[in-house]
Amino acid sequence: MTDHIQYSPEKDALILLDQRYLPNREEWFECRTTDDICYALVVMVVRGAPAIGVTAAYGCYLAGREVQGMDGDWKANLSAKLDQIHDARPTAVNLRWAVREMRRIWDEAGDVSLDELLALWLKRAREIQADDIEMCELIGRFGGALIDDGDTVMTHCNAGALATAGYGTALGVIRGAIDQGKKVSVIANETRPFLQGARLTAYELHKDGIPVKVACDNACALLMKRGLVDKVVVGADRITANGDAVNKIGTFGVAIIAKRFNIPFYVAAPVYTIDPETPTGDDVPIEDRDPREVTHIGDHRIPPEGVEVYNLAFDPTPNELITGIITEKGVLYPPYDLAIRKLFSL
Query: Residues annotated as binding site?
Result: 47-49, 89, 196, 247-248
- Concatenate the DSSP letters of all residues of 284-298 into one string: SPPPB--THHHHEET
Q: Which of 238, 236, 233 is nearest to 145 (CA)?
A: 233
Strand, coil or helix: 213: strand
Beta carbons of 64 and 121 less than 8 angstroms apart: yes
Q: Judging by beta carbons within 10 Å of its beta carbon (0-12, 13-18, 19+), is residue 181 exposed, middle or buried?
A: exposed
Strand, coil or helix: 152: strand
* Annotated binding-site positions for substrate: 47-49, 89, 196, 247-248
> From the candidates 36, 132, 151, 237, which is the catalytic residue?
237
212 sits in which H/E element: strand 212-215
128 sits in which H/E element: helix 114-144
Q: Strand 185-189 and strand 212-215: pairing? A: parallel
Beta carbons of 89 and 142 less than 8 angstroms apart: no
Beta carbons of 240 and 275 less than 8 angstroms apart: yes
- Concatenate the DSSP letters of all residues of 216-240 into one string: -GGGHHHHHHTT--SEEEE--SEEE
Residues listed for the chain: 346
Buried b (16+ CB within 10 A) or exposed e, 56-89: bbbbbbbbbbbbeeeeeeeeebbeebbebbbebb
Which residues are bridge partners to 316 per DSSP?
246
Q: Would you say the C-alpha torsion 176, 178, 183, 189 has a positive or negative sign?
A: positive
To the query of whether residue 237 is one of the catalytic residues in this protein, the response is: yes
Tell me the catalytic residues. 237
